[in-house]
Structure 1
């Protein structure tokens, strides 16, 4: 069984025209999609069924449909073809890795040390073309598997067999409140998540999901709490702008404390227990010198800033 057999079967299955009048039309449409003629395609599907010893398409009843084994085969064929296509894309990207580095990042990390990391990396590799893409953590996973970026800096952890996650450090979260808010006036040394359950929370970004919104809501759920009033806003800047206008509160990483500091007060969480991970994502088994240098530079700056972190190696 070869990959082409899987592609042939998937193309036929996805036409979904399995009825008596349209059976031949289904194969014709699939054949056009694959740039082959209909008779060889039909023979290939029959040969596939004979090779695995299972009927994949029920041709006895009308309308025609995939058998239970055919549905199972289709689901797994899609996974295999996706992995095959991703492997090709990642390998092609790897072949161009010596002259450029594409980096995905979430916006909140750009307000931390990432600009310094990139600037120092440029000093080491002045001839490397660096491309930056604002992508949320989920988009970074997709971009890595599709070969569009080489490394991602995000805040959410996703399981993907082709991606390796390096937890760089945990960054403290703080509550951003209008400067005249009672929490700011009380000069809080620490606020509890419980204190925010009935506040109007401005959570970001609305799309694509999952996003930081989901992470914040999970912080409440993990403590058997509920954010009773929250509004979803498009992005971080809008959330902070609305906080400054007195429309509500928001939760941000500590590195954003300098933003709108005249209008917004930032209050730490009690005991500093609420954090957001900073995650570096790379393709599994990718051990290039460029990535190792990028990670080493990140740790250098962490040391200079006195950050607590757990050192990992690529």
Structure 2
């Protein structure tokens, strides 16, 4: 199926550290929230209905700056770094998506936010889906962008594709292989999963490579993938016991990646799914076509 080939262009799967990426508006503040055995670095800004932005592998919460700049006009925007990534702490474990859903719940509790829209990309999709399963009353709308969810739809068929070797790449020896070579490892994904690699700028590559070179970051990234088997078990069990998600879901795919097939994949896990395509983009939607991504997300969340 085309979506299996498309996945190779989809799931490879920052506070600047010397290289510039698009900055968050000055109205944002940062907090480090101790919750669920980790310390989660969070950007918070604006007022009004809450919206949570969850990033994926190869980036951090910094990826959302263009969207956050738009949403802050009429929303409270919360953009964490996932556990182990970016400026969040690097615990040894806890990387199942059901557990990371509790990281999100703890951050919202600390901010006294009962309910939010969630916009997610890549591995962020998986955390967002788990959060929506465990806390459906806290999710108004869900946007998932350009990555499937373990155990949902044809997941087993997807992971058998040999192009997804990196799903099984991890452990102490692999960590030693990439130590000091994080940029080389990440460049493969940024290049091969882009419609045009030049759109993932050199400045962004330097920025994210430095963050992924922090002590424990590559271990954490590998553990995000290592948890997929348990994530699939958890999601299948939840859907069997409780049925599909009921809240409105927007499934977006990059034109040169998942495209319109994202909506087909998500209908296996949610009842109320609409779809959309980010034009002239591969997997890295906020690097490759942020304007179109912002427009699509905004149109969905602004619906009554």
TM-score higher than 0.5 here? no
In the superposition, the TM-score normalised over structure 2's length comes to 0.23
Question: Which of 1 and 2 has greater Rg?
Answer: 1
In the superposition, the TM-score normalised over structure 1's length comes to 0.23
Higher RCO by CA contacts (8 Å cutoff, separation 6 or greater): 2
